[in-house]
Amino acid sequence: MAIVIYLLPLGKVERELLEHLVSQVGRIFSCRVEIKRALSRPEYAYNEERNQYCADLILEKLEREDWKEEEKVLGVADLDLYTPGLNFVFGEASLNGKVALIGLSRLRQGFYGLPDEENLFYERAAKEAVHELGHAFGLNHCKNKRCVMYFSNSLFDTDRKRKEFCKDCRKRIFRRFPE
């Protein structure tokens, strides 16, 4: 049974970015990656006081869908996400779950009043996609600052780490893949 990763746009997401993620995620996980039809923006998760979207509520709703055993789903939302107890998150996932989520807003230079750099934005999005899918495949955070599974507390952390798993995380994750 071959693993399939679905990219699920939540609201409007650039097609070019999704295609970049298909390429990068497919290369790193060595599996098929497909783009699903977009769902509407998750207004049910909007917190007016924070002007952000609650990642936990979005994950809960996506997890209620009937995904097959061999499927993983990455929600891709051009939103500013948070989880209770944190000011923001770049993404969220359930450990060993079916569903992961990334928020794109804070990955853009423009969010911080800087000129946008498309290549940098695409690289950040790919790193966060791989990171959150790593959690869905059972990986915890890694202490290696260059590993994609290192916790990103800031864009500095995201920019410093690589898109790939370190040797130890790579061994752990690919033990979980069916032959």
Tokens encoding 78: 């051009």
Q: What is the pLDDT of residue 73?
A: 97
Instruction: Count Cβ neighbours within 10 Å for each residue of 49-68 and write b for 16 or more, e otherwise.
Output: eeebbbbbebbebbeeeebe
Tokens encoding 96: 């060993």
What is the tens place of the pLDDT at every residue in 89-131?
A: 999 999 999 999 999 999 999 999 999 999 999 999 999 999 9
Distance of alpha carbon 150 from alpha carbon 152, whole angstroms: 6
Assigned CATH class of 4-105+115-175: alpha beta
Phi first, then psi, for residue 147 (nearest 5°) are -75, 140
Write out the DSSP string of 127-168: HHHHHHHHHHTT----S-TTSTTS--SSHHHHHHS-SSPPHH
Q: What is the pLDDT of residue 167?
A: 96
User: Mean pLDDT per segment of 10 residues, for the chain of length 179 residues?
Assistant: 92 97 96 96 97 98 90 97 96 95 98 96 98 96 98 95 96 74
Looking at the annotation, which residues are catalytic? Answer: 132
Q: What is the pLDDT of residue 70?
A: 86
Residue type, 147: C
Q: Are 55 and 105 in contact (CB under 8 A)?
A: no
Q: What is the pLDDT of residue 152?
A: 93
Candidates 46, 43, 34, 38; CA nearest to 6 is 34
Place of tokens 């769902």: 39
Q: What is the pLDDT of residue 145?
A: 97
Specify the 3-state DSSP secondary structure of 93. Answer: strand
By the 10 Å C-beta count (0-12 exposed, 13-18 middle, 19+ buried), 163 is classed as middle
Q: What is the pTM of this model?
A: 0.95
Candidates 56, 39, 48, 51; CA nearest to 91 is 56
